[in-house]
Structure 1
Amino acid sequence: MSALDSATVWHRFRGELRKAVNESTWHIWLERMGFREVDGTTIVLEAPDDVRSWAQTRFGRVLTACAETVLGPGATVRIADPEETPPETPAVAVPRVQAPASQQLNPRLTFDQFVIGESNRLAHAAALAVAETPGLAYNPLFICGPPGLGKTHLLHSIANYVHEHGGGMTARYTTAEAFTDHFVAAIQGGDMEGFKAQYRGVDVLLVDDVQFLAQKAKTEQEFFHTFNVLHQAGAQLVLTSDRPPRDLDALEDRLRERFEAGLVCDVRPADRATRLVILRKRVAQDDVGEVDPAALDLIAERVDANIRALEGALIRVVAFGSLTGRPVTAELAAEVLAGLYPELSKKKAAPTIKEIQEGACEAFGVSMEALLSASRTQPAAFARQVAMYVARELTGATLPTIGRAFGNRNHTTVLHACRRTTERMASDREAYEAVHNLLRSLGGN
């Protein structure tokens, strides 16, 4: 087999393998494997002992399936020891080149593999609806939320569903950054017609992280025209961002208005029950062996930042157990989380009402005496309302208990304060930021 053919086989095999496993597994284990040669219908790789034994035991079938995808039925994979004497013909040095981001679609990210919880139920239902009836359900569909909560999973799920059940319909997934890079390359290469054909000739366009279009005037203008052409043609558009359209201040008003013209839904951090289901599903999917349910409980309890961090923690714990020959127990999980993720150690206890009052005084520049007084002047009144709202959010205290802590006020006063704070947050961006900054400083989400 020629050097060029060997390079092609390696690139395709590596691309298939990366799509077949999750990001944590890829970066911790499989990315460390190198290419040696193609021996007939066998792809020969090389890897250190720990990776070789893990890959052969846990991912043998996946490796074979990827090889058959590239070389055809009957293809196999052999993982050699790097110290093993290579054949006389030196292995071809193959650069690790990835396909453009806009071309990558992970077949593992499907609706079947998406774990539904209260934090993402609406987004999942909307994504499934547009996958089943592109251009008819919600157009555009705009999904927003912090990183690592499943937005990209939903985009891939839609594209995979359309490719499998769409009756020949086409779906293209890209990121705002990839769209920008492709646009710039098209301008420099004089191939704008080809660029337009790739993005405007599809039935479903899915764009991840559209907030990165901001402050790129020419790219933003091109995306605006692409959006209009597709929308007028009845094609489906699905967009994601780390925040809702109204908060994308750096984007042009005309683009934000179009984003808001369809359905805007958010994804929020998963609750503990959903995190536990995600871990159980990942264990079953990756066939990682025996894992004590108590270990999963501990990981789900401590790792609540996002799903990527959750799955990464699971992979770390399982890998540590495999390398040390220890069973994956709650004790092992606690040890790994404390050592590798010190920030994920025992979560901070809920703040007391006194601590919340002190935090509000500092945040709004009022004295404790003013906060607890009967004064209705600003900013003391707003600081008091916010403090009551935060106390209700972060403590298990009843309304009467909170009222007593704020100068013996009754529970209806506390309830009124919570409602007023909620209303003001909805209409006043500065108030929203002030409240959330206080929540974060006190350890809330």
Structure 2
Amino acid sequence: EVTGQGGNVVLAGDKTPGELAGFSPRMMSELKGATVVEVELPDEDMRRDIIRRLARHIEIAHPEFVLDEALIERIHTGIRGPGRELTGAVWNLFTEAGFGTMTPTSDMLERVIRRMEGEVRAPTIELVKKAAMKVFNVSKADLESPSKARSVVYPRQIAMYLCREQTHKSFPQIGRAFGRRDHTTVLYAHRKLTRDLPNDPELSADIARVAAAILELQASGGH
């Protein structure tokens, strides 16, 4: 009916049409014949904008619910997941602030972040590698190889960086897991990415993609 009247149907999902199951052959044909567009994870500026827009929307009906830039930045840095986790944090803060009857404080926000992030266990080094393999379409052998090709070095450095940030393992432990590399290799990767992150939106987006893949693997029972 919609398409017959000249309209369009937009469907959102976390799988491509070819990966879906449970639909009739005709429906599968329709889905596979449609235009597929990948929606990437939001970059740093978009993450902050998501928070600001939702906060302003809530503020219209609840004038006491005002988020200053410090709170916005803390949500951005404290919540590691994609956009829906950011909006969840804002709504949780709204509840914490007496359903918008009080102005949010940093203490309120820290309680929200602890509740939301406290349930996320630290990933293993192997899980981080699996996430990088999934995002960049490289193999475990690639990540552990001595290859200096950028297509391998780049995802390897991101994996090393996230291993250090999220697994609580030491530089030597991480180095051994990546083809028995010296700890200085991991240290170099971590320092380089830490230095480049503020001024490299592509790097920031790629790290966010791998971080999101880590959460997805954990949610699906990965180790």
TM-score w.r.t. the length of structure 2 is 0.51
Match of 1:328, SS state, is coil
Aligned partner (choices 241, 245, 250) of residue 22 of structure 2: 250
Residue aligning to 2:159: 394
Query: Residues 302 and 346 of structure 1 are in contact (CA less than 8 Å); yes or no, is this contact kept in structure 2?
Result: no
The answer on 1:317 being equivalent to 2:131 is: no
Matched, 1:356 2:126: yes
Q: How many aligned positions are there?
A: 161
Q: Which residue of 2 aligns with 1:202?
A: 5
Is the Cα contact below 8 Å between 1:245 and 1:259 reproduced in 2?
yes
Distance change in 2, residues 1:248/1:319 (3 Å): closer
Rg larger in structure: 1
Per-residue CA deviations over 1:393-440 (Å, capped at 9, x if unaligned) read 43228xxx969941469x9xxxxxxxxxxxxxxxxxxxxxxxx78982
The one of 172, 179, 196 aligned to 1:406: 179
Matched, 1:275 2:52: no
User: Structure 2 CA distance, aligned partners of 1:282 and 1:357?
Assistant: 33
The structure with the largest helix share of the pair is: 2
| Runs of 4+ off more than 4 Å | 198-201, 322-326, 346-351, 357-360, 389-393, 401-405, 436-439, 441-444
1:300-335 CA-partner distances (Å, limit 9, x unpaired): 233344434422321231342246975423332012
Structure 1's unaligned 5+ residue stretches are: 1-197, 207-237, 361-381, 412-435
1:202/1:300 CA distance change after superposition, 3 Å: same
For residue 35 of structure 2, the aligned residue among 254, 263, 267 is 263
CA RMSD of aligned residues (A): 4.6
State the 1:346 CA deviation. 8.8
For 2:128 and 2:12, the matched residues in 1 are separated by 38
Paired position in structure 1 for 2:141: 385
In structure 2, distance between residues paired with 1:439 and 1:200: 34
Equivalent residue, structure 2, for 1:141: none
Q: Equivalent pairs: percent with the same residue?
A: 16
Relative to structure 1, is the Cα distance of residues 350 and 298 closer, same or farther in structure 2, using a 3 angstrom cutoff? farther
Per mean C-alpha deviation after superposition, the further-off stretch among 261-270 and 323-332 is: 323-332
Aligned to 1:330: 106
The CA deviation at 1:264 is 1.0
Q: Give the match for residue 75 of structure 2.
A: 299
Larger relative contact order (Cα-Cα within 8 Å, sequence gap ≥ 6):
2
Where does structure 2 lack aligned partners over 5 or more consecutive residues?
Answer: 131-137, 145-151, 164-173, 186-212
Secondary structure class of the residue paired with 1:395: helix
Cα deviation code 1:25-77 (max 9, x no counterpart) = xxxxxxxxxxxxxxxxxxxxxxxxxxxxxxxxxxxxxxxxxxxxxxxxxxxxx
Which structure shows the bigger proportion of residues in strand conformation?
1
